């Protein structure tokens, strides 16, 4: 065991994933706590009846992952039902919390199957794709200690620019600059704060990365500037696939320099995504990554200071070869008497085209001159795409902290960007999934994150939007995003605009708190969002809570995740001061004693529970983060005599990173009757 309570065990010849920073020497012998399988690529570990298992980062189901089977395999799948085994990110890290407390990180860049009490109720069984991997065993007195040690192993978290704590509006797609202008107007004219508008794939010319449609976004730099003059950041999407088109320089450069992934015969691997036929930049090839990263300069030169990387699992709609075979298969039934099993085969031929392992097995990377099959390093693709941009930003624009987040990820990518939780749905159950993923992602270092608020796929309702907003205002990445063909869900489109205005403003009033607690978590390898189980050790009720979170050091939240509710049951783990915000300036308070309580929460209110001896700072809201006036800082405190709060502010940017200014404040008084002084 090394000095930090972490032991590393190497099996076979692992591929270097860059998940771990610095790194430690491998121990000899076998890992503690687990029993390695004879196949040299699996292990088991017994669970006691009441043991909890945390981790898995981006995954479905509860904070306690026990009772299901998960696979770390970056997957483009928008149906996040509770039985899905993989989402977009691959985070093979778990914490067993029982009589023994320990963490396990299986550092392996392809599929790892975690059967956590699924096949056998009291056993965790882990199977790794190949016998080449590292296992890190992380000891700790508590799950939080395990998390902090794991985080110290994998490095400090990316810090997003301050403006990215403002509210951000997206849709697939605002097709023209006029569309974008309308959205900005919609927010500004209705006195609804806003800091960013997103450009989904349709801003591009024929979906070509690093192009902007001249027709739909004429004089783009001027338009970016126009938005900026209104304190709006435009955030364009970048997709992984590069359109094959003669004359398109990004394609031609990649082709001519051998920067694309190859097929087994060394030709460029071709698949289809939004632009039609594309090649995939080989982000595992250092030179190719560097080349692609520098391309973001085209947009930063136009004034862009934020990006989201998408489709980088990589998602594949079909490859030429597989589609050809599928068409042949279907065509072969022409004129024949198609039986039912023929029909299923026909249907499967078409349905099986997307993200097929056949395609992933036909794609090769050039890693230091060696051909490496994609299907052995699948989970590193999105990580390295995003790293390529992040590495470039330091050179392109050292005077800016450029916003970056990605859909696909692997452990370690938290050092260069955030992630969003992928293409969710306008489902009530996805409010809760949003909540449950926050701490799980924090465990893996992903602090700048959030779900597509109000839901990406499917149609929302006003009530869903209000209730989701009540959680969304605590997400560092607070973005409303929706898919093509779904009901419009910009907040100014709803009937009860006053409620949306009040809650959006409340977000802005809370930004000093949220940003400070985010910075604190990033700097100290802490979690900004904690399950109650992590704080109230030994409290069996707290340990079972799956729909409340501690946000930073001062507060607990308990959003309503059900339709037609008048409130919800809340477990209060210590005496707390509930603040029911109707708006930043209008609220009522109530003291709750430790125990279970039914709390009435109208859908135009947000309740925040302030912990004992803690204080919650607020400022006057503003139309955007740039206009927040920190001199309006005030506190609501729960019996705090001299409660300490460390306020963090972004005081500039150096070498592409935010410079953080801190003030330690002591708060005196109680509830809203407080004063504070700098200490």
Name the one range near its own copies by CB under 8 A: 324-332, 356-364, 583-591, 639-647.
324-332
Size of the chain in residues: 679
- Name residues whose C-beta falls within 8 Å of residue 209's C-beta, 6 or more positions apart in sequence: 238, 239, 242, 243, 250, 295
CB of 300 to its own copies, least distance (A): 28
580 phi and psi angles, rounded to 5 deg: -95, 100
Give the whole-angstrom CA distance, residue 527 versus residue 624: 26
Give the whole-angstrom CA distance, residue 173 versus residue 25: 49
Name the one range near its own copies by CB under 8 A: 105-113, 280-288, 559-567, 629-637.
559-567
Q: Is residue 592 close enough to count as binding its own copies by CB under 8 A?
A: no
Nearer to its own copies, 432 or 657 (CB): 432
Q: Is residue 338 close enough to count as binding its own copies by CB under 8 A?
A: yes
Q: Is residue 499 close enough to count as binding its own copies by CB under 8 A?
A: no
Tokens matching residue 636 = 């609501």
Among 26, 294, 350, 653, binds its own copies (CB under 8 A): 350
Among 249, 399, 488, 562, binds its own copies (CB under 8 A): 562
Q: Is residue 347 close enough to count as binding its own copies by CB under 8 A?
A: yes
Per-residue contact track with its own copies, 137 to 176, x per CB under 8 A? ----------------------------------------
Among 125, 362, 425, 482, binds its own copies (CB under 8 A): 425
Interface of this chain with its own copies, residues 103 to 122, rule: CB under 8 A? 117-118, 120-121
Interface of this chain with its own copies, residues 625 to 664, rule: CB under 8 A? none
Give the whole-angstrom CA distance, residue 68 versus residue 171: 33
CA nearest to 33, candidates 105, 115, 132, 85: 105
Q: Is residue 215 close enough to count as binding its own copies by CB under 8 A?
A: no
Give the whole-angstrom CA distance, residue 94 versus residue 114: 9
User: How does DSSP classify residue 201?
Assistant: G
Q: Distance between terminal CA atoms of the chain?
A: 40
The residue assigned the tokens 């939240």 is: 557
Name the one range near its own copies by CB under 8 A: 168-176, 186-194, 342-350, 655-663.
342-350
Give the whole-angstrom CA distance, residue 312 versus residue 306: 17
Give the whole-angstrom CA distance, residue 515 versus residue 38: 48
Q: Could you tell me the CA-to-CA distances from 334 to 93, 300, 458 in Å, in that order?
A: 50, 52, 35
Q: Is residue 571 close enough to count as binding its own copies by CB under 8 A?
A: yes
CB of 255 to its own copies, least distance (A): 18
Nearer to its own copies, 97 or 650 (CB): 97
Nearer to its own copies, 169 or 425 (CB): 425
Identify whether the C-beta of residue 647 lies closer than 8 Å to the C-beta of residue 515. Answer: no
Tokens matching residue 325 = 């075979």
SS3 412: coil
Q: Is residue 346 close enough to count as binding its own copies by CB under 8 A?
A: yes
CB of 329 to its own copies, least distance (A): 9
Nearer to its own copies, 243 or 415 (CB): 243
Q: Is residue 677 close enough to count as binding its own copies by CB under 8 A?
A: no
CA nearest to 150, candidates 505, 422, 414, 450: 414
CB of 311 to its own copies, least distance (A): 12
CB of 340 to its own copies, least distance (A): 5
Name the one range near its own copies by CB under 8 A: 62-70, 91-99, 141-149, 613-621.
62-70
Tokens matching residue 16 = 């270097």
SS3 115: strand
Containing H/E element for 500? helix 497-523
Binding site for its own copies (CB under 8 A): 52, 61-62, 64, 66-68, 79, 81-83, 117-118, 120-121, 272-277, 317-318, 323-324, 326-328, 330-331, 333-334, 337-340, 343, 346-347, 350-351, 353, 425-429, 458-459, 461-464, 495-496, 540-541, 544, 546, 562-567, 569, 571, 596-598
């Amino acid at each position: 065991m090394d000095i930090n309570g972490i032991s590393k065990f190497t099996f076979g010849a692992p591929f270097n994933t860059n998940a771990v920073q610095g790194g430690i020497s491998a121990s000899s012998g076998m890992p503690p706590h687990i029993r390695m399988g004879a196949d040299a690529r699996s292990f088991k570990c017994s669970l006691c009846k009441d043991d909890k298992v945390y981790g898995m980062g981006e995954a479905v189901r509860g904070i306690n992952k026990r009772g299901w089977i998960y696979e770390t395999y970056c997957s483009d799948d928008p149906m996040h039902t509770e039985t899905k085994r993989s989402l977009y990110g691959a985070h093979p890290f778990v914490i067993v919390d029982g009589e023994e407390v320990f963490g396990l990180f299986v550092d392996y860049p392809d599929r790892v199957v975690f059967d956590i009490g699924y096949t056998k109720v009291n056993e965790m069984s882990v199977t790794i794709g190949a016998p080449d991997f590292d296992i890190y065993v992380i000891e700790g007195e508590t799950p939080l200690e395990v998390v902090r040690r794991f985080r110290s192993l994998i490095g400090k978290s990316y810090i997003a620019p301050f403006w990215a704590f403002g509210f951000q509006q997206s849709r697939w797609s605002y097709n023209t600059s006029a569309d974008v202008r309308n959205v900005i107007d919609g927010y500004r004219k209705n006195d609804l704060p806003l800091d960013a508008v997103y450009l989904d794939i349709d801003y591009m010319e024929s979906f070509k990365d690093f192009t902007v449609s001249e027709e739909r976004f004429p004089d783009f730099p001027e338009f970016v500037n126009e938005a900026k003059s209104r304190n709006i950041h435009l955030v364009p999407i970048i997709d992984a696939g590069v359109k094959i088109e003669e004359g398109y320089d990004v394609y031609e450069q990649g082709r001519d320099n051998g920067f694309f992934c190859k097929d087994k015969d060394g030709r460029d691997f071709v698949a289809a995504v939004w632009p039609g036929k594309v090649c995939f930049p080989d982000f595992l090839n250092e030179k190719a990554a560097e080349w692609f990263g520098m391309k973001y300069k085209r947009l930063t030169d136009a004034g862009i200071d934020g990006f989201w990387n998408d489709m980088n699992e990589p998602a594949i709609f079909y490859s030429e070869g597989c589609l050809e075979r599928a068409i042949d298969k279907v065509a072969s039934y022409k004129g024949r008497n198609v039986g039912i099993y023929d029909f299923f085969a026909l249907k499967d031929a078409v349905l099986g085209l997307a993200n097929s392992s056949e395609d992933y097995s036909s794609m090769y990377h050039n890693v230091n001159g060696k051909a490496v099959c994609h299907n052995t390093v699948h989970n590193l693709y999105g990580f390295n795409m995003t790293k390529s941009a992040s590495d470039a930003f330091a050179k392109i624009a050292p005077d800016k902290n450029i916003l970056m987040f990605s859909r696909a990820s692997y452990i370690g990518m938290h050092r260069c960007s955030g992630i969003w939780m992928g293409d969710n749905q306008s489902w009530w159950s996805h409010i809760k999934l949003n909540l449950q993923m926050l701490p799980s992602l924090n465990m893996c270092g992903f602090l700048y994150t959030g779900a597509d608020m109000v839901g990406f796929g499917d149609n929302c309702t006003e009530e869903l939007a209000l209730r989701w907003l009540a959680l969304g205002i605590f997400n560092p990445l607070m973005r409303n995003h929706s898919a093509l063909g779904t009901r419009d869900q910009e907040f100014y489109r709803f009937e009860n605009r006053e409620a949306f205005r009040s809650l959006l403003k409340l977000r802005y009033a809370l930004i000093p708190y949220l940003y400070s607690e985010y910075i604190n978590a990033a700097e100290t390898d802490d979690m900004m969002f904690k399950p109650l189980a992590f704080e109230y050790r030994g409290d069996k009720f707290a340990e079972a809570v799956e729909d409340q979170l501690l946000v930073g050091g001062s507060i607990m939240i308990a959003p309503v995740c059900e339709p037609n509710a008048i409130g919800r049951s809340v477990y209060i783990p210590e005496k707390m001061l509930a603040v029911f915000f109707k708006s930043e300036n209008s609220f009522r308070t109530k003291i709750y004693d430790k125990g279970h309580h039914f709390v009435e929460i109208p859908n135009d209110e947000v309740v925040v529970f302030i912990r004992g001896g803690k204080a919650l700072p607020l400022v006057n809201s503003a139309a955007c983060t740039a206009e927040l006036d920190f001199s309006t800082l005030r506190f609501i405190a729960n019996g705090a005599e001299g409660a300490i709060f460390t306020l963090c502010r972004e005081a500039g940017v150096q070498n592409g990173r935010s410079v953080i200014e801190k003030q330690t404040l002591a708060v005196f008084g109680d509830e809203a009757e407080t004063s504070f002084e700098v200490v």
